A and B are shown apart, each in its own frame.
Chain A
Amino acid sequence: MKLLTHNMLTSKCLKGVSVGYPLGINATEVTTSVVDFDPEFISRLIPKLEWHALKQASDIIGEKGYLPEALIADYENNEEFLKKVHHALLEIEVVSGNLVCPETGRSFPINNGIPNMLLNEDEV
């Protein structure tokens, strides 16, 4: 599971949960891969992200302080910054662990790099 995926997932489908975001991450195995860098694609993704959630996830799973507290202005023209975002979003992979609902503590297992977001019938 890439951090881009973490940035999009929520537990809002659970009964009684109002926001369900961001999900906590407990990682037992993390790896990094190499993904082709496309500055235009990263620039296009950035407006869709919750920066704070990405920053937090990158601090926990990657290297603390690797991303700045706030999104910088004029990022489209800052290749160095875009490369960092690229790395954090697409190259860090959680192979196994859990995602945790911030409101109920319900945990969603990640196995083989795939988060399992399925709910039981009595949970919806």
Chain B
Amino acid sequence: MNKGNLAGQIFEDPRYHEACRSCMNCGVCTAICPAAGYYDYDPRVIMNLIRDSDEETLTALLQSDLIWYCGQCMSCKPRCPRSNVPGAMIQILRSVSIKNGLFSKSSLGRQQLAIKRAIGHNILETGYCIHPTRVDPEMHPEQGPVWAWMSNNSDQVYGRFDAGYDQAGPGLLRKISKNSLDELDRIFEVTGCKELWDQIENSHLSL
């Protein structure tokens, strides 16, 4: 990877070809975008910036909050008359921002640490992105009293639907075997995810 050359890193991403073919700046993506309706965010502007940006502009963009608003719904994809995918461009920008430590300059970017410690650790420790015992009703009042009942009585509630809940073998929220968890762990190691996680943890330390 050619560090310091942000444009190069963006163009090299395997998603780039799909994300940006040729933007005509029509703004259809912005019109359909749920994030644009909620935040001061405009995918058309981002697509435009990427096209003819120098390193300085790209650095400013990758350090800013702007790349962290997208909700990844991909509603922009089927609507773009040029078959671009602004949501995929956002994935590329976020990944380059993290790799270069620029994300920690944005308060929204710094949320990556909390996400990594929640979802990331769930994945490697349980084999699931989320687990009933890890969605704390106290932290999730919006989940309502039925969720609190499910989470607080998980053995009985989940056990009603499958006697194999949290047990070895197939079935509802089965316990993922040690062998499978080890394989996941090795995949995360050899494909560079662990390194990325170190980057997220260390950028936080150096603040």
Partners in one complex: no
Report which A residues bind B (CB closer than 8 A).
none
